[in-house]
Structure 1
Amino acid sequence: MDIRYSRSPSLSQRTDVSRWLRLARKASSHWALNDGLIWLHLFKTVAAALLALGIAMLLDLQQPRTAMTTVFVLMQPVSGMVLAKSFYRVIGTAVGTVFAILLAGVCVQDPELYLFGLTCWIGVCTAAAVRNRHFRWYGFVLAGYTAALIGVPALMQPNALFLAALTRAAEVSIGILCSSAVSALVFPIQATTTLFRTLKQRTIEFTDFAAGVLSTALPVDLFEKRFAALVDEIVGFEATRTFASYEDPDMRARAARLARLNSDFMNACARLHALHQLLKRLRGSGAAETIAAISPFLDELSVLLVDVGRKVQKGEPEMPELMERIKAFQTGLARRARETQREIERVAPRSMLDYVTAMELVHRFVGEFLSYCDIYLSLANSRKHVLDKSRARYEPQTSPYVVGLAFVRTVVAVGAASWFWIASGWPGGSFLVTGAAITCALSSTSPVPPKFTLQIAAGAALSLLFGCVFLSYVYPKIDGFPLLCAALLLPLGLGAFLMARRSTAAYGVGFAVFFCLLAGPDNVIDYAPDVLMNNGLSILVSMLLCAVAFAVIFPPQMPWLVEKIKRHLRGQIAMACTAPLPGLDGRFQSSTHDLMSQLRTLLITQSHRHRDALQWMLATLEVGHATIDLRGELQLATGVSGRTPKPRWLASIDMAVRALPVLFDQPNAKHLRSALATVNVAISTAQTHLEELEPHTAERYRMLRIIGCLHFVRTALLDRDAPFPRD
């Protein structure tokens, strides 16, 4: 009898296979989310460029390469970004075209006057682009250099201006349509998906950070580093929200809710920062009684925050139940805090102010965090929400000095190029002026414009070499559009690959854009390498001219300009002290974060100047929020008391509020002493008034909150880690 035994894999073999499969899935998932997205973007960019080139050639337009150039300028990894960019490109191109036609109609027979008007227009558009954000920036940029692309050739052929304007509009429109269609239809990556993924990750990281702040004493440098990262996330979330509204009608309907979500997140970050600062001072001053009194509340809240982070990471099926636990904690917080307060008044009256201030900050932080979580959970439901009609807005702020200097640099660079063209009569001078206009526009928001410009110039020089090879050896041997597409795969793919990586993006922009602009194929190709070299040399000279202008004429990183932006940042205290209260909290938050984000792009991370700017932002947020809370409590106190408050204590608080903008505008030891003196007087007079109020009344508790706000401002001014100059 022949007995055969079947051999089955052992348990260890099956375990090894499953482990290798898990590793393979993990590696493929990592590649798909990183390098895979880059190759997908490369494929879509090249496909859209060739599609635009083919349609423009089919319609027999004069310069099909313009449509291909438009695709490289427009394409972004996320479809919503492409749609937003396309929208503003249409508007900018239309405005620039109209201006070029009107200016030519007025002074085309006077080249000097025409170039002067064109230079001023480009400068105004570049300055307006710096003043705005996201793809509104791109609309102003296009309005500037479109006028140069259309208007400069009009100096040599005035009669062809109107036809050139219409032709360029058609070529640009084809590029817009092709890039938008390919981005939205071919394996689309939507900004909505990115938005919700970022939102989930931000919530998890914030709850972990907040739990760490409440439960342990984080080092100052670690706290500042993580808080600065939150600033960048706030600004980045606003950009992603704007992109998502262009691709999804449902996101447009929920735009107000998302804006309110970002506003509440800023408020929660500010409350957490204030609480961290107070806890740091209490631990440093040895206030053992106060720390012991508030620790049970902090530990309980820390556990709840850790649970929130875990639930968000796993999904939100149990989140409503957890929110009820946090609301119950908030509801019982006031009663429990008052019970502990009576005990502190009996055994340690000197710790009263610290305890009241800390518990008020805890209460405000819990309220802001609950508001944030309620909106976060409501986003899972696309139905209408009451907050869809809210008016919370992110209001960006740009220093007027930055805007003015951008105008000056642009006018000097474009004006010098125009003067050299007129003085020398260089045949390639039109490309000199056009290249200067494009370079000034594209580098207007770069933190290091000279470096960015030189990188674009290096990419343009490489494109010039490729252009000479293609014009002399490749194009003459091509017959038919399919073979042309195959030949263009190498330069277009290389340009898209460089643009997709942050470290080489500027090189990719210079290579891809100027290869298409200088050596892109037309329906009738002019095989003239000397013209190509002349035009390419003009482009390179214009970029070097701009790099010199950016490095010499008011460079963005010069200490004088950084100090002006920091003064503008400190000037937010004046807004907190004097502006109308309705909506003030959101305006103060967004403008302060935006100014700090600009400083972070200008200054080298971990440098002394960067640390100083970050400390001023933290001090501004700290004192500004306390002042806004103080003004809000004063408004309620004067309205609820039913009688006119005693002039002495109210006048002393007004004097303290007026001293704060002076200190932040001109920080020195004298103004610091003056601000501290007025705050101390305000606290003393408010405590005198407090003794006249009946115990355990709403008016007394409100007066305690007013004193707590003043005490917090006082501790912020006394903080040795704060950047205030001292004797």
Structure 2
Amino acid sequence: MKRQHAIKPMANTLRPWRVMGHAFGRQTFSAAIRDWAFSDGLIWLHLLKTVTAGLLALGIAMLLDLPQPRIAMTTVFVLMQPFSGMVLAKSFYRILGTAVGTIAALALGALFVQQPELYMLGMIGWVSACIAAAVRYRHFRWYGFVLAGYTAALIGIPNVTAPHDLFLAALTRAAEVTIGIVCSSAVSASIVPQRSSLALRRALQNRFANFTAFAADVLDRGIARSQFERRFADLVDEIVGFEATRIFAAFEDPAMRSRSQHLGRLNSEFMDACARLHALHQLLKRLRATGSASMLAALRPYFHELAALLTPRAGAALDASHVAGHLRLFQANLPRRVRETRRPLEAAPPESLADFDTAAELLYRFIDEWGRYSETYASLAQRKVASAQRSPGRYVSHTNGFVVAVVFVRSAVVMAIAGWFWIVTAWPAGGLAMIGAALACALTSTAPNPTKMAVQMAFGAVLATLTGYLFMCYVYPNIDGFPLLCTMLAPVLALGAFIATRKRAAGFGIGFSVFFCLLAGPDNVLDYAPDLLINNGIALTASMLLAALVFAVVFPSDMPWLIERIMGDLRSQVVAACNDELPGLNQRFQSSTHDLTSQLRMLLTRRSRRRRDALRWMLATLEVGHAVIDLRNEATLAGYARVLHPHWSSAIERTCKDLARLFARPGTRALERALVSVRLATWIAQDMLQTVHTDRDKRHDLQRILSCLHFIRTALLDKDAPFNAR
């Protein structure tokens, strides 16, 4: 009895642990399920929706007795995207592109009746022009232009020698494509829709948290140059990608559509905050390099305090409204505290005082821009957004004309070779080879490595041909009924869609999915002709390899002269900052600079010296261009300075002119001339500062101008600047 009595308390003490272990296991299991649902679960959901939409389009096209239901299924695999907004946007532009392409095919057929050579030339020109326009007008406008060219080829090329069938082919093909569009949109929007607006909100949350942590690291501890460049380049990609996601969200969410200008201003303010942080980081780096220990020691408490404000407490979530409030309070007290800190340093050399004043001014501007961004971001949580005092930011994309021309010539060369071989040899599958060439040029037009993607699509076409042969010989003859057909097609279609979601193997998945549907997709009247299937597969594979060969040998994407042209466009943004009209200049400068940098990063995929130089030119362009815009704005506000000194206006104009010349044609002489102009303007501003020293407002205006000039001078003298490296 005693022994049993002794055991009872132990059993009672074990029971809570059992209950706690059961609860802990249930929480762990729920967390694991939740993590799976937001990672691999989304991929499986995308596969389910893609296969469902493809089979639904196939069934509806068969039910309507269309001649080629496989085209409807192919459309789904070209069209389907993980987010419903992406599908809706893509569908909208695809409908427009399909309609324009259909009209173009009919017009070319009417102009060149029974003249295949002229018809082919007209088709090559049309498709190449559409692909080039797609590169010029990106996002989902790209898809509209691509479809305008590809649909014309898909309708017109098979009917080159039979123009009397062209009109009927255009109608049936448009019907098949429309079915694919409707099915993909309906399935994506109805079956567990993944809203791109939600993805946009999550991206904004992550961006706010990541940039806040990045800013705290820069201010508190400082980070290495290579790490800063890498993290800043990631911010550039986020800024450019944000615009595409904003367009997607506007197609599916009325609330996001009504806040489109608000989101545009949010992105513009984020670019301003990034530019201010970069400028502050650059100046701190130069102060450390020049050994300005006393200035750094005087400024370090402000950086530590600000970094502490930006760092949330352990376990606490980052609240944008609280961050904005803390920043505004810190900003309001900063001028008085800086004046108190500066008084003991007034005996220091003028150059050191200029470093202190410039750093304090940059810190104030960064806090102001980051506070604006935090307030705008916090206002997104409100049901009704207050009217903005600042004008909405407009993102301006910029594409070099040489890039557009190269894409046009490259596409024309690939299609001309395929068309010439078809006409000379009278190859029965030559028309499909030319369609494949057009498809390769279109889908790889904006790929970072078009050669690699074309080769992957070629291997995907080979795998699709082999799989189609097995289905043609062994699967289709033993199938009876549409449900069994769907059961056999689903695993194959899901495999292709899954591979297409892999970033490094997307070309394999796209090639397999699209070409399996195009080559071996079932029709209402199935023609069991394995030899025709193999011949068509060889034609598509050959066209992909031809495109890859032309892309690699004749028109490589990273041609040095082409990269130099884009770099010239990037540097020309400083020329625009020096010469263009001030209203809206900051938004145009920021967006164009980030857009061009993103294009360079896509073309220069491998880590190399050219990729590093491109990023450093972007940082120098952003640094000097932003400072020039600040200088011009401050000089405009201080219009009375023209009266204080007769040479002030000419000094500012000469400074802008010489800086523009430096970035237009970098060189030692241009750099020396720009340094002389900046120094002359600085001397004149210092003389005027002594004149108005008793007027507080004018003194502050001229001090801000001096800070802009000093910052530009330090940027020009930076030994790490790309124009100094030359």
Match status 1:77 vs 2:79: no
Match status 1:37 vs 2:42: yes
- Identify the match of residue 290 of structure 1 among 295, 299, 303: 295
Number of corresponding residues: 721
Could you say what the CA RMSD is over the residues aligned between the two structures, in angstroms? 2.1
Name the CA shift for 1:348/1:22 in 2 (closer, same or farther; >3 Å): farther
Could you tell me which amino acid in structure 1 is paired with residue 145 of structure 2?
F
Name the CA shift for 1:252/1:388 in 2 (closer, same or farther; >3 Å): farther
Could you tell me which amino acid in structure 2 is paired with residue 262 of structure 1?
N
Could you tell me which amino acid in structure 1 is paired with residue 317 of structure 2?
K
What residue in structure 2 maps to residue 119 of structure 1? 124
Instruction: Quote how far apart the aligned CAs of 1:178 are.
Output: 0.7
What residue in structure 1 maps to residue 490 of structure 2? 489
Instruction: Quote how far apart the aligned CAs of 1:719 are.
Output: 0.9
Instruction: Quote how far apart the aligned CAs of 1:221 are.
Output: 1.0
What residue in structure 1 maps to residue 194 of structure 2? 189
Instruction: Quote how far apart the aligned CAs of 1:673 are.
Output: 1.7
- TM-score, L = length of structure 2: 0.96
Name the CA shift for 1:115/1:310 in 2 (closer, same or farther; >3 Å): farther
Query: Superposition pairs for residues 232-243 of structure 1, below 5 Å?
Result: 232-243=237-248
**Cα distance in 1 between the residues matched to 2:606 and 2:417:** 35
What residue in structure 1 maps to residue 558 of structure 2? 557
What residue in structure 2 maps to residue 398 of structure 1? 399
What residue in structure 2 maps to residue 210 of structure 1? 215
Could you tell me which amino acid in structure 1 is paired with residue 712 of structure 2?
V
CA contact (8 A) 1:231 1:593 kept: yes
SS at match of 1:571: helix
Q: Which moved more, 1:419-428 or 1:298-307?
A: 298-307
Instruction: Quote how far apart the aligned CAs of 1:132 are.
Output: 1.7
What residue in structure 2 maps to residue 447 of structure 1? 448
What percent of counterpart residues are identical?
54
What residue in structure 1 maps to residue 98 of structure 2? 93
**Cα distance in 1 between the residues matched to 2:490 and 2:369:** 53
**Cα distance in 1 between the residues matched to 2:169 and 2:143:** 22
What residue in structure 1 maps to residue 177 of structure 2? 172
What residue in structure 2 maps to residue 472 of structure 1? 473
What residue in structure 1 maps to residue 317 of structure 2? 314
Instruction: Quote how far apart the aligned CAs of 1:107 are.
Output: 1.0
SS at match of 1:259: helix
CA contact (8 A) 1:418 1:433 kept: yes
Instruction: Quote how far apart the aligned CAs of 1:26 are.
Output: 3.4
CA contact (8 A) 1:253 1:388 kept: no
CA contact (8 A) 2:124 2:416 kept: yes
CA contact (8 A) 1:125 1:140 kept: yes
Query: Superposition pairs for residues 214-233 of structure 1, below 5 Å?
Result: 214-233=219-238
CA contact (8 A) 1:669 1:726 kept: no
Name the CA shift for 1:373/1:462 in 2 (closer, same or farther; >3 Å): same
**Cα distance in 1 between the residues matched to 2:373 and 2:309:** 15
Instruction: Quote how far apart the aligned CAs of 1:644 are.
Output: 3.5
What residue in structure 1 maps to residue 717 of structure 2? 718
CA contact (8 A) 2:112 2:119 kept: yes
Q: Which moved more, 1:596-605 or 1:707-716?
A: 596-605
Instruction: Quote how far apart the aligned CAs of 1:337 are.
Output: 2.6
CA contact (8 A) 2:114 2:161 kept: no
What residue in structure 2 maps to residue 326 of structure 1? 327
**Cα distance in 1 between the residues matched to 2:296 and 2:371:** 24
CA contact (8 A) 2:128 2:408 kept: yes
**Cα distance in 2 between the residues matched to 1:366 and 1:456:** 49
**Cα distance in 1 between the residues matched to 2:464 and 2:310:** 54
Deviations 1:478-525 (A, max 9, x none): 111111111111221111111122222110100010111111001111
Could you tell me which amino acid in structure 1 is paired with residue 257 of structure 2?
R
Name the CA shift for 1:205/1:609 in 2 (closer, same or farther; >3 Å): same
What residue in structure 2 maps to residue 541 of structure 1? 542
Which structure 2 residue ranges, 5 or more long, are not aligned?
none
- TM-score, L = length of structure 1: 0.96
CA contact (8 A) 1:42 1:500 kept: no
Match status 1:370 vs 2:371: yes
CA contact (8 A) 1:129 1:141 kept: yes
Could you tell me which amino acid in structure 1 is paired with residue 583 of structure 2?
P
Match status 1:656 vs 2:659: no
Could you tell me which amino acid in structure 1 is paired with residue 77 of structure 2?
F
- Identify the match of residue 31 of structure 2 among 19, 22, 26: 26
Name the CA shift for 1:678/1:310 in 2 (closer, same or farther; >3 Å): farther
Deviations 1:354-383 (A, max 9, x none): 122111111111111111111111111232
CA contact (8 A) 2:209 2:318 kept: no
Instruction: Quote how far apart the aligned CAs of 1:572 are.
Output: 1.0
Deviations 1:519-541 (A, max 9, x none): 10011111111221222211111
Deviations 1:613-664 (A, max 9, x none): 11111111000000000000011111x56x6352323312221211112212
Name the CA shift for 1:726/1:535 in 2 (closer, same or farther; >3 Å): closer
CA contact (8 A) 2:718 2:724 kept: no
Query: Superposition pairs for residues 334-345 of structure 1, below 5 Å?
Result: 334-345=335-346
Deviations 1:423-451 (A, max 9, x none): 11111111011111111000001121111
**Cα distance in 2 between the residues matched to 1:501 and 1:91:** 29
Instruction: Quote how far apart the aligned CAs of 1:31 are.
Output: 2.0
Instruction: Quote how far apart the aligned CAs of 1:14 are.
Output: 4.8
What residue in structure 2 maps to residue 131 of structure 1? 136
**Cα distance in 1 between the residues matched to 2:323 and 2:90:** 41
Name the CA shift for 1:162/1:382 in 2 (closer, same or farther; >3 Å): farther
**Cα distance in 1 between the residues matched to 2:624 and 2:66:** 61
Name the CA shift for 1:144/1:717 in 2 (closer, same or farther; >3 Å): same
**Cα distance in 2 between the residues matched to 1:88 and 1:349:** 60
Could you tell me which amino acid in structure 1 is paired with residue 425 of structure 2?
S
SS at match of 1:314: coil
Name the CA shift for 1:321/1:226 in 2 (closer, same or farther; >3 Å): closer
CA contact (8 A) 1:256 1:388 kept: no
**Cα distance in 2 between the residues matched to 1:292 and 1:550:** 55
Name the CA shift for 1:632/1:107 in 2 (closer, same or farther; >3 Å): same
**Cα distance in 1 between the residues matched to 2:271 and 2:331:** 20
**Cα distance in 1 between the residues matched to 2:644 and 2:123:** 61
SS at match of 1:394: coil
CA contact (8 A) 2:310 2:323 kept: no
**Cα distance in 2 between the residues matched to 1:624 and 1:101:** 50
**Cα distance in 1 between the residues matched to 2:725 and 2:476:** 71
Instruction: Quote how far apart the aligned CAs of 1:29 are.
Output: 2.6
What residue in structure 1 maps to residue 460 of structure 2? 459
Could you tell me which amino acid in structure 2 is paired with residue 375 of structure 1?
T
Match status 1:677 vs 2:676: yes
What residue in structure 2 maps to residue 356 of structure 1? 357
CA contact (8 A) 1:290 1:354 kept: yes
- Identify the match of residue 50 of structure 1 among 31, 51, 55: 55
What residue in structure 1 maps to residue 625 of structure 2? 624
Deviations 1:406-439 (A, max 9, x none): 0110010111111111111111111011111111
Deviations 1:575-612 (A, max 9, x none): 11111111111111111111111111122354222211
Deviations 1:89-113 (A, max 9, x none): 0011011111111111111221111
Deviations 1:156-179 (A, max 9, x none): 221111111111111111111111
- Identify the match of residue 263 of structure 1 among 255, 265, 268: 268
Instruction: Quote how far apart the aligned CAs of 1:17 are.
Output: 4.3
What residue in structure 1 maps to residue 508 of structure 2? 507
What residue in structure 1 maps to residue 206 of structure 2? 201
CA contact (8 A) 1:289 1:348 kept: no
Name the CA shift for 1:388/1:674 in 2 (closer, same or farther; >3 Å): closer
SS at match of 1:694: coil
